[in-house]
Amino acid sequence: MARFVYLDHAATTPLHPQALQAMLPFLGEAYGNPSATYTLARRSSDAVTKARRTIAAILGCRPTELVFTGGGTESINTAIKGIALQQQLANSGNHIVTTTVEHHAVLHACQYLERFGFEVTLVPVDASGRVDAGDVARAVTRHTALVSVMTANNEVGTIQPVFEIADAVRARARALGKRIPFHTDAVQAPNSLPMNFADRGIDALSLAAHKFRGPKGVGVLYLRRGVPFLAQQNGGGQERQRRAGTENVAGIVATAEALRLTQASLGEDRDRIGALAARLRDGVLARIARTTPNGHAAERLVNNVSITFEGADAQELLRDLDAAGVACSSGAACGATTVEPSHVLLAMGLPLEAAASTVRFTLGPTTTEAEIDYVLETLPGVVARSRAAHLAPA
């Protein structure tokens, strides 16, 4: 393969070199268990404490309000199940409010809780994939135990008005005379938004390190002090008895460093990546007929370019782009034996055929102008071949 262009940063990101260097000692000589008390162990314990403080300063919370998990999915599941089940035990409700465009980690966690007597309300979104704060608040009842709305959509890049929603939910809860925690899946947010969410009234927040150039297998859960919570993983007393298991010291250290670096360069990266994303989006729309961008025009992640190519097949586009050295994703959830149209695109009102013709390009700090130009040179021919194949007689 002559060249390789990686445009799937929403799926995962390359590990930051400084994050890698930060974690290496704890994969080697500094191997102590942070729960022990001797010198070797204290080095690990001190490193976890420092990482916790670094992340807390960025989120605007107390270090003790952070829980390290095994990834974004675990962080989301821990938040939703832990809060909802404790609320149910306390007779504070068995109803969850979320949206139709959430990540499957949220939707499937809610479906799981339905087996235990919970009711789930899915609030619809508009054609841009955005939910209305008033609609969320109106879905809240005296039985509501939790509201969970993602910060930004992983498929189309639309940013939700989460702070407005959190305020509306809080006002509705006060009117009902109860407390209703608000959780957000912020996994896609750190590369585009300042992360001082705790200062803005968010009660619980989930992150995945590998989405912002940290290592895979590490997640962060912010859980505001006093929020009802039932631990989902039991054993030792780690994470203040909220998530048992020996800490992934190397991964935690690298996560803190990656988040620090990402947020430190946020303004510069957003400007550069946003310009490249606009170059790609505008170039595609100018070069290829019958193309439609997806997601909110303004309130969106700067690196996300989701485009529907009418008359083409997304899986064929991905295959041919991959052959040309371009890695990106479709608007579909692909399993081992099936390809299902994106629930996000369908919830936004796209017809089934359009959802099956959508490709997502997500850029990152390593993306260059030359790479974007290469994609713009390559893509028209790829789309034309797919369209021609579907026009050919059977």
d(CA 20, CA 43): 18
81 and 106 part of one domain:
yes
What is the residue-wise DSSP string for 323-387? HTTEE-EESEEE-SS-EEE-HHHHHTT--HHHHTTEEEEE--TT--HHHHHHHHHHHHHHHHHHH
Task: Report the CATH number at residue 345.
Answer: 3.90.1150.10
Q: Which two tokens stand for residue 338?
A: 């099936």
DSSP at 106: H
Are 274 and 378 members of one domain?
Answer: yes
**Structural domain tally of the chain?**
2
Query: Under DSSP, is residue 30 helix (H, G, I), strand (E, B) or coil?
Result: coil
Task: Pick the closest to residue 374 from 309, 290, 283 (CA basis).
Answer: 283
> Quick one: 283 and 229 in the same domain?
no
d(CA 197, CA 187): 13
The answer on 319 and 230 residing in a single domain is no
Closest by CA position to 234, among listed 221, 244, 226, 225: 244
Q: CB 9: neighbour CB atoms within 10 A? A: 26
Q: Are 44 and 26 in contact (CB under 8 A)?
A: yes
How far apart are the C-alpha atoms of 65 and 239, rounded to whole Å?
9
Catalytic residue from among 61, 110, 328, 334: 334
Smallest Cα–Cα separation from 147: which of 129, 135, 159? 135
Last residue of a domain, one of 264, 279, 314: 264
Those residues with Cβ within 8 angstroms of residue 75's Cβ, 6 or more apart along the chain or in another chain = 67, 69, 206, 207, 208, 219, 220, 221
CATH number at residue 145: 3.40.640.10
Which two tokens mark 82? 């832990």
Specify whether the backbone of 157 is left (phi greater than 0), alpha (psi in -120 to 50) or beta: left
231 and 280 in a single domain? The answer is: no
Residue 110 annotated among the catalytic residues of the structure: no
- Does residue 257 sit in the same domain as residue 359? no
Question: Following CA atoms 299, 69, 335, 192 in sequence, which dihedral angle do they give, to the nearest 10 degrees?
Answer: 20
Residues 167 and 236 in one domain: yes
Q: Are residues 260 and 270 in the same domain?
A: no
Distance, in Å, from the CA atom of 212 to the CA atom of 261, rounded to the nearest integer, reads 9
Domain span at residue 306 reads 5-13+266-391
The reported pTM is: 0.96
pLDDT tens for the chain, 394 residues long, are 579 999 999 999 999 999 999 999 999 999 999 999 999 999 999 999 999 999 999 999 999 999 999 999 999 999 999 999 999 999 999 999 999 999 999 999 999 999 999 999 999 999 999 999 999 999 999 999 999 999 999 999 999 999 999 999 999 999 999 999 999 999 999 999 999 999 898 999 999 999 999 999 999 999 999 999 999 999 999 999 999 999 999 999 999 999 999 999 999 999 999 999 999 999 999 999 999 999 999 999 999 999 999 999 999 999 999 999 999 999 655 443 456 789 999 999 999 999 999 999 999 999 999 999 999 999 999 999 999 998 755 4
347, two tokens: 């919830």
- Shared domain check, 285 and 253: no
Verify that 51 and 109 share a domain, yes or no. Answer: yes
pLDDT at 358: 98
Of the residues 246, 264, 282, the one at which a domain ends: 264
Q: What is the DSSP letter of 156?
A: T
pLDDT of residue 393: 56
> Are 198 and 318 contained in the same domain?
no
Q: How many CA atoms lie within 13 A of 111 on its CB side?
A: 8
Domain ends where: 233, 264, 295? 264
| Alpha helices per DSSP H over 7-152 | 17-23, 39-59, 72-89, 104-114, 133-139
Strand arrangement of the beta sheet that strand 304-309 belongs to: 291-293, 304-309, 358-362, 329-330
Q: Are residues 135 and 80 in the same domain?
A: yes
